[in-house]
Amino acid sequence: MQQQELQLHVVELLKLATTESDLARRLQVLHQTEDLLLRADTQAETVGTYLDYFLNLQADPHVSLRRYAAHFLDKCLLFKPSLALRGVSAITVLINDTDATVRELALKAAVKMHGRALFLLALEVEDAAFKHHQQCLHEMEVAVRALLESGCPDHPIHFHLATRWAKAFILAQTPSPLPTRIRVPSELRGVSCLQDLPDKTTRWLDPNMLRDKAQDLLRMLISLLQKPPNGSWSRMHLSSLLRCSSAVARQRPLLLGAVIEAWSQLLGEAARAAATAAPAAKAAAASPPKPSGGNHVDLAETKQLLDSEIQYLLTSSLTVEHHVKLVELLRLVGVAGPLEDLTTQAKYQQICEAMEQYAAELNGEPKAKRARKTKAKRVWAMSEGIAVLEDDGAFDADALLSGEAEVTCRHFEDYFGLPSQREPAGHVSGPALLASRMVNSVDMARLALNSLNSLPQKRSLHRDRASERIVAFSEPPVRDPQSRVKVNGAGMPESLDLSVFLSEADATSIVRDPRNSLLSSAYLPGMLPLQRSGVLASKDAQIGRGGGNHHPTAGLAAAVPLDAPRRDLLQLRIFSEVLEAQRRMDKSLMCVSFSEGQVASFDRVCRQVAIHMAMSTKVVASPMLQRKMCEAFMVNAFDALKRSLDSKTGSTAESGAALGKLVELFYAKFVTDIARWQEASDRTGKTLGAAATAAKTPLNEILEGVHKSRAVFTYAELFQLFVDEFTRRDIPRRELRTFLNEIPVVPLSAFTMLEKQCQQLVSRKMALLTVLSLIENKPSCRWHGLHLLFRLAYSGCEDKDVRFDTIRLIINKIYSNGPHAPMRWQLPHLNDEEAAPLLGAAATTEDETSGWEIPDEDYVDLQKLRGRCVEDVATLMLRSIAPVSAKYAFPMNVPLRVEQLRGELFKTAICSPKDRVWLYLALCIKRPVLLHELVETFTKCDVEMKEHLINSIEEAIKHIPASEPELLTLVEKAVPETERLVLKVLNILMQTSQGKEALAPAYGKAVTDLYGITKNPELLVPVFDLLERQNLLDFLPAVLELGADKVTDAFRQLIRSRAPPLSITELLTELHHMNSPGEDIVPVQCSMQALNILFGMRDQFDPKVYGIVIQALVEEPGRMPTLFMRTIIQVVKDLPRLSDFVVMEILPRLVRQEVWGDETLWRGFMIVLQHTFASQPGGAARVLAMLPMSQLEDVLVTHPDWKAQLREFIARQPAGATPPHVRQLLQ
């Protein structure tokens, strides 16, 4: 249907609905109109034309029509999201409606509204429109918040929908921890996280404000959870709150800590309430029953609800950092067990629920077939499609991670006409995919290992596997009847049959005459016979009994050498043949006849056989042989990797497969070494349980070979082989980063290699990013990675760029300034009473104020690493620049490992003390509270180091906003010992605040107090415009005696101030009053310097100020200021516009005051006349005519050329208007 025809039809239907008196018929017509407007091919502009009609239904007296209005807005938001902002006000009105059903439908619409409206709001460029829409959204927020705060005791469904809106609100206004790749654009599905906002967001929208409002709403939900408005929650209310907080915390792991803490408090309160109610329950049992006052949740129900939500959190890949805390919470609920078991049970339970749901759907009624593409697309009315689109959890972070959002994306593509795409919608490609999407069991095993994000957990799994002697992962067997390779149930060859590696012709010739084969005993003397089954001959045959010819009559015979070198040579040759099998298959004509799956299975079997031969404890005994096999395997894998990186023939998939082969090799080596160690431990006779064996396994010693008693080929040596081959092949370093994140354990030699790369300019950036990736993705590497970064940040190498590049990485990518309370030693400027509010709730726990610990030797919490660890090491290195004997207000109670790290830094080539401050200064930019520790260290340093800190602190202060409260506190807490440093800070703030936000008025009072102690007028300059008026007048003489640059800065502060305590006019007047005949408050040279500086800045204010000041000064009683005439001379010379004013107004006043009585003033008076006579001859002649006879005579003698102008002036005047002596002198 064309748009014009559709509009005509809609108009007719709306007219019919307006005139229809029967309410049921009217609703039917409106529903027909809805079907037309919300079709997929109806343009949003067409719907917008008639939207006001439906919006006006909000005020209709019929409740049925108001319900329909809420329903229509809900559907309109889903299918025409570009109209979201127009419906905000209507939804707010409907939320406040008196009818419960209207409110319910409106709340459903509000859930969809926020994300879509937020996207459109981010595109609004007009200020007025933006503020209007923002206010409408705020009103809707207030309405829903009111429902949450009231608890909706009579309508639990309203409370449930309000919590769903709260979840959508918080998720949309907070950043996602995962880089998402969703096919459906955010303008259609709405904003799910801050990353969904458009790239060109309006400058009116502040992301920081959005985050703050989301966190405030989460705090309100937690508060409601702890303090119900009606005293207690019903089960449905509590379930809704727990589900909302769980969903938010699961998708935003940074908020999970606060939620876990709230749950713990809730559980504790429920337990206390149950203990208190126990005696009352016994008494009530003896008395007649009373009616219940409400459906309140008891302790058992609370534990049940919490157990359900914790199970969901444990199944998520986003919450691994908090799994330990979740397990502790489960123990309080009453569910105990190891972390691995609880996590596995939770995942199995979720999978079972999904399978049961899937089975129920299969057993239900068959679904309708999918519409043909040629048919007109219609709205999914009461169908599965609309239910999928309306699910606000469709783009849940875990759903994206696992690919479960695929169905939703398909429905969006079908309705909105988007191009269908094959790749799954979700998280950016990487190792974190669900095992359910894995086909290869080797990949599944590797995923299971990689998904455990702490080394102790990895150890437990590896040790369990090792104790079971599982040293290789395999696929289901390939049952090809034509294949000569017979495999067992594990997918491995049943026996070591050498005929597998021979052509058919060679095998036939060997059967006919075994002695002609290179594998026969004739050519390999000293070998034991090996039957076709791969089993050694009987002992009788070996020792010579039972016959002389050991060659079988049927099948292939081969002999195994008895001496080790030949046996190793044979095994190595066989291993090479296995590696070459795939290359030969690719070039063979048989490859064309096989399917892709068959070829892949052949490649997989070959690779597994090779790994089994290289790593199995039952085949490989010689470390040298194992080394050579691994070298051959790596050469083969690197050849494939090099081919895949070729821009012409390679592909990303091929490079990933090549790296995957190497990763499999490392996993096999890892598990084999653990199994070999545990097998050796079992032979000692000490039989321990699996848990005890796992706990006593020295993982690092096994893999690094630290205490090896015999020559073994270790995991670390295998890694060195990889590094050598990687370097020789000149592979791009980005592949190294991918590889290190995939292997089970990163050896210490990797960090040594990365350190060398960081010291080279060409490879530094990639190496630093690799270290960052290891810290973020591999918990077992965090401490070693942080150690490496600190070693580089405080390196004593000549190339200072190494230090600065590392510091930039730490500050920009690793360090996080919160949320965590400051430590007590970070607040040396405050006493205990003042520090208590800043320490907050942590003030009662020693862990958060006086010290903290890292309990696990191989694991450190990422949040602690990003915050406490970086701050503590930087602070220790800062304090090292002071003398050893320096005593600080509070000692640093840092973890032992942090102290050991500091000691190890000093054992290496460390930088000079002056270079140890840069990292701390950079930290101060992101967390200004650290400045106070810097100030305390400043007071402990020697003179040279103090001077260095004064010169260096600018690098931090200039990047900190002038409105930062810690800067004001630093000035307020200043003492004479810190005066020079504070003066430097004030000067920097004066420079950085020019043209930006001004300093707070409190700076003026703080500096005034400090000046009262130190009497250093330089302190007053940066805050000259913030001083109180009386204080400024009192301090002005001291400031005037400073250097020219300081006086200039002080005057500039006054001129630029919006509300100066002293105007320019008043300042000029005060400057003139500094010197008068017989009294000099400041030296005349200082006043002249100040006047010259202010005169040089006259372009920054109105020059008429000088006219006002001169007139005010000339009208004052008493003698003129010393520099009065000097200022007039400057004005007439450089401000010609004021010359006429001076001649006509100022000079006559001076004549009337008998200016000739003061020699200095008279001399200046004559200079002014000289400069103005040429430009103002009439006015100057008038002034001359006012002079007495003796002074006029002297002037005319000195300037005879003025007679003509004076004579001309007198001629124009009436006879009685001119003094007689003037005419007499002119005759």
- DSSP three-state, residue 558: strand
Cα angle value 448/451/452 (rounded, 5°): 95
Cα–Cα dist 721/734, whole Å: 18
Decide if 969 contacts 1008 (C-beta within 8 A).
no
Interacting residues of 1138 by C-beta distance below 8 A, sequence separation 6+ = 1103, 1104, 1106, 1107, 1131, 1132
pLDDT of residue 647: 63
pLDDT of residue 448: 46
Cα–Cα dist 572/625, whole Å: 7
pLDDT of residue 852: 67
Decide if 759 contacts 798 (C-beta within 8 A).
no
Residue with tokens 């002071």: 882
Decide if 1139 contacts 1174 (C-beta within 8 A).
no
How many whole angstroms from its chain centre is CA 85? 29
Burial 465-484 (b: 16+ CB within 10 A, else e): bbbeeebbbbbebbeeeeee
pLDDT of residue 394: 57
The CB density around residue 606, as the number of other CB atoms within 10 Å, is: 20
Cα–Cα dist 407/1110, whole Å: 84
Residue with tokens 């439906």: 54
**Alpha helix segments (H runs only) across 227-322:** 235-251, 256-286, 299-315
H or E segment and range at residue 1046:
helix 1044-1056
Burial class (CB within 10 angstroms; exposed 0-12, middle 13-18, buried 19+) of 785: buried
β-pairing, 1079-1080 with 180-181? unpaired
Decide if 878 contacts 918 (C-beta within 8 A).
no
Cα–Cα dist 362/456, whole Å: 42
Residue 441 sits at φ, ψ, to 5 deg, of -70, -25
- For residue 863, the cross-strand partners are none
pLDDT of residue 839: 80
Burial class (CB within 10 angstroms; exposed 0-12, middle 13-18, buried 19+) of 1101: middle
β-pairing, 426-427 with 527-530? unpaired
Dihedral of alpha carbons 381, 382, 384, 388, sign: positive
Helices then strands, each counted (H, E), the chain: 60, 6
Decide if 341 contacts 364 (C-beta within 8 A).
no
Cα angle value 985/989/990 (rounded, 5°): 115
Decide if 141 contacts 169 (C-beta within 8 A).
yes
Distances (CA, A) of 876 to 532, 1005, 1222: 69, 34, 89
User: Which stretches of the chain score pLDDT less than 50?
Assistant: 286, 288-295, 365-389, 421-441, 443-444, 446-558, 620, 685, 690-691, 708-709, 842-849
Q: CA end-to-end span of the chain, whole Å?
A: 110
Residue 1137 is given by DSSP the state G
Among left, alpha and beta (phi > 0; psi -120 to 50; other), residue 729 is alpha
Residue with tokens 């969903």: 247
Interacting residues of 994 by C-beta distance below 8 A, sequence separation 6+ = 1056
Burial 1179-1190 (b: 16+ CB within 10 A, else e): bbbbbbbebeee
Tokens linked to 926: 């992101």
Cα–Cα dist 688/681, whole Å: 10
Decide if 259 contacts 246 (C-beta within 8 A).
yes
Q: Write the DSSP assignment of 214-232 as a string of letters.
A: HHHHHHHHHHHHHS-TTSS
- For residue 558, the cross-strand partners are 530
- For residue 529, the cross-strand partners are 559
Cα–Cα dist 372/369, whole Å: 9
The CB density around residue 81, as the number of other CB atoms within 10 Å, is: 22
Interacting residues of 1225 by C-beta distance below 8 A, sequence separation 6+ = 1189, 1192, 1193, 1196
Decide if 816 contacts 942 (C-beta within 8 A).
no
pLDDT of residue 198: 85
Cα–Cα dist 751/740, whole Å: 11
Interacting residues of 564 by C-beta distance below 8 A, sequence separation 6+ = 622
How many whole angstroms from its chain centre is CA 503? 60
The CB density around residue 750, as the number of other CB atoms within 10 Å, is: 26
**Among candidate residues 824, 940, 924, the one with its CA nearest the CA of residue 871:** 924
- DSSP three-state, residue 478: coil
- Give me the half-sphere count of Cα atoms (radius 13 Å) on the Cβ side of residue 841: 4
Interacting residues of 1106 by C-beta distance below 8 A, sequence separation 6+ = 1068, 1098, 1127, 1131, 1135, 1138
Cα–Cα dist 994/983, whole Å: 17
The CB density around residue 490, as the number of other CB atoms within 10 Å, is: 15
Q: Write the DSSP assignment of 1139-1193 as a string of letters.
A: HHHIIIIIHHHHHHTTGGGSHHHHHHHHHHHHHHHTT-HHHHHHHHHTS-HHHHH
Decide if 126 contacts 201 (C-beta within 8 A).
no
Cα–Cα dist 853/846, whole Å: 11
Interacting residues of 1114 by C-beta distance below 8 A, sequence separation 6+ = 1120, 1124, 1146, 1149, 1150, 1153
Burial 195-219 (b: 16+ CB within 10 A, else e): ebbeeebbeebeeeebeebbbebbe
- For residue 704, the cross-strand partners are none
- DSSP three-state, residue 883: coil
Residue 553 is given by DSSP the state S
